[in-house]
Amino acid sequence: EGFNSSGGPVVEMDGDEMTRIIWEFIKEKLILSNVDVELKYFDLGLPYRDQTNDQVTIDSALATKKYHVAVKCATITPDEARVEEFSLKKMWKSPNGTIRNILGGTVFREPIICKNIPRLVPGWTQPITIGRHAFGDQYRATDFVVNQPGKFKIIFSPADGSANKEWEVFDFPAGGCGMGMYNTDESITGFAHSCFQYAIAKKWPLYMSTKNTILKAYDGRFKDIFQDIFEKNYKPEFDKLKIWYEHRLIDDMVAQVLKSSGAFVWACKNYDGDVQSDILAQGFGSLGLMTSVLVCPDGKTIEAEAAHGTVTRHYREHQKGRPTSTNPIASIFAWTRGLEHRGKLDGNPDLMKFSQTLERVCVETVESGTMTKDLAGCIHGLSNLVFIHEAMHTSASDWMLFLSLKAVLSGNKKCLNTGQPFLFFKNTFVFL
Task: Indicate if 72 and 154 belong to the same structural domain.
Answer: no
Q: Average pLDDT in the 245-268 region?
A: 97
The pLDDT assigned to 282 comes to 82
Q: Are residues 18 and 394 in contact, defined by beta-carbon separation less than 8 angstroms?
A: yes
Q: Which residues are annotated as a binding site for NADP(+)?
A: 75-77, 82, 259, 309-314, 327
The pLDDT assigned to 378 comes to 74
Q: Which residues are annotated as a binding site for D-threo-isocitrate?
A: 77, 94-100, 109, 132
335/388: higher pLDDT: 335
Q: Which residues are annotated as a binding site?
A: 75-77, 82, 94-100, 109, 132, 251, 259, 274, 309-314, 327
Judge whether 414 lies within some domain. Answer: no
Q: What are the C-alpha distances in Å from 360 to residues 159, 268, 391, 394? A: 55, 29, 28, 20
Q: Which of 33-47, 111-125, 245-259, 403-417 has the least mean pLDDT?
A: 403-417
Task: Indicate if 30 and 92 belong to the same structural domain.
Answer: yes
Note the pLDDT tens digit of each residue in 339-394.
Answer: 999 999 999 999 999 999 999 988 888 888 877 777 777 777 766 766 554 434 44
Judge whether 387 lies within some domain. Answer: no
Judge whether 81 lies within some domain. Answer: yes
Exposure of 229 in the CB half-sphere (CA atoms within 13 A)? 23
Which domain covers residue 100, as residue numbers? Answer: 1-108+288-366
Q: Is the pLDDT of residue 293 over 70?
A: yes
Task: Indicate if 94 and 150 belong to the same structural domain.
Answer: no
Q: Is the pLDDT of residue 407 over 80?
A: no
Query: How many structural domains compose the chain?
Result: 3
Please state, in angstroms and rounded to a whole number, the distance separating the CA atoms of residues 162 and 160: 6
User: pTM for the complete prediction?
Assistant: 0.80
Q: Average pLDDT in the 313-322 region?
A: 83
Q: Is the pLDDT of residue 3 over 80?
A: no
Task: Indicate if 129 and 225 belong to the same structural domain.
Answer: yes
Task: Indicate if 60 and 4 belong to the same structural domain.
Answer: yes
Q: Which residues are annotated as a binding site for Mn(2+)?
A: 251, 274
